[in-house]
Every structure is written in structure tokens, then in C-alpha cells.
Structure 1
Amino acid sequence: MSRRILAADDSAAMREILLATLSEAGYLVTIACDGQDALRHALSQTFDLVLTDQHMPVMDGLTLIQSLRQMEAYDAVPILVLTTEFGESFKTAAREAGASGWLLKPLDPQTLTEVVSELVLHEGA
């Protein structure tokens, strides 16, 4: 059974990269254009992993994570933040919001696939 991934990013190019990379790796990927769109998808179905950009209009990534963590279905689902921020204050804020970790942009497709696989396998164990 294929694992389901929800990926939210306001950049069309990044959404295409995430969809192509993760679909090629065998995942079922649902794309969202912002946090509010992602939350709508999360309310209608359950995902095995969530990827979210930090800086998005309507609802940013940390707000999305906080909203997801309030839902029983997402209290233990891995959530990764995709960001260009690497400072300790951001890492602290991401952890406090409930992020499982983060990946720095620009994303390396191989690293993305490896990290996602590790999290999904760990979650499925």
C-alpha cells in the first residue's frame, strides 16, 4: 500500500518538484497551495506525512502545523517544514509548533526522498 503525503507550498515550481520527486518514489501525493488549502485536505482525508513551506499566504507553515497537531488524526504524523530559514530561533519555533523536523531549500531530490522514506518507515513500524 502506498503511503499518502500532503505537500503545501505557495510556489508552483516547488509543488511540481515535490509532486514529481515523491510520486516517482512511489508515494501518493496531494498538493496544496497554502496552509489553509492543506488544512482543508487534512480534514477530508488522512496522510502519513505532511510537508509544508513556512512562508505562504493565507496560512503559514507553523500555523498549519499547530492546527494539525490539535487534530487527533495528526498528533503523531510526521510533519516537515520546507524553509530557507536555518536560525536557532526558527528551529525552536518549529519544534514548539510541533514540527518533526525541517529541510532547507533549495531541496535536493535525493535527500528529500531519503528523509521522507525514513520518516514514513519509522511511522509505519
Structure 2
Amino acid sequence: MSSPDAASPHDLLVVRPSKWTLVVIVQLRSGTMRFNELRRNMGGVPQKSLSQTLRELERDGFVTRRAYATIPPRVEYDLTEMGQQLLELADRFHDFALRNREAVETARRRFDAVGEGLE
């Protein structure tokens, strides 16, 4: 019998990244940013998607959110220590993608040449 604190194999993936998660993490590499600054730098991200992504990252402990009672309201986001660790993972993923880009493109061409597999 396992202890109540023991993680089940199904609990290991605690980070459920959205389409924009790693983009936000990478953007915050340079330090504290305001919402609109993030949105401008990310180009094309819908405001609702960015808000939802930031909320999830804050909930999971990857970013901090600081709101200032000013007019207009000012909200800033920054990476936490755990967010820095996720950034390191994002960098390694990026390096992996660059190293294997050609192999992936070759595999895709091979796959497409024979069809998508018959069911």
C-alpha cells in the first residue's frame, strides 16, 4: 500500500501546457513585464488566451503577478524560481528541436510519400 503523499504514475504530469505556455515563459526570460508588453512581444496571441495562460502559470507557481492600484491599473508578471526551471526545460526543448529539425522533416516527407497510413 502506498503512502498518501506518494504520487501515482498518472499524477506525474502536473504541468499541462497550453499553446502559449512556453512562449510566455520564454518572453519573461528578460524579467518583469506588463500584460500589454507581453501581448505585443508575442504578436497574434488573443487577449483571452494570454490571460488564461498567465492565470494557469500563476496558479501552478511558475509566474508571480503584481497588481498596482493605479489609474489605469498596472499589472506585472515575473518568473518564479520554478518558472526559471521551466525556462531551462524550454531552452533544452528548443535545442532538441533545432538539432533534430532535418531528421523530423525527412521523416515527415517519408511518411507523406507513402500516405498517412491505412486504417
Shorter-chain TM-score bucket reads: under 0.3
Greater Rg over alpha carbons, structure = 2
Query: With structure 2 as the length reference, what TM-score do the two structures score?
Result: 0.26
Greater strand content: 1
> Which of the two has greater helix per residue?
2
TM-score by length of 1: 0.25
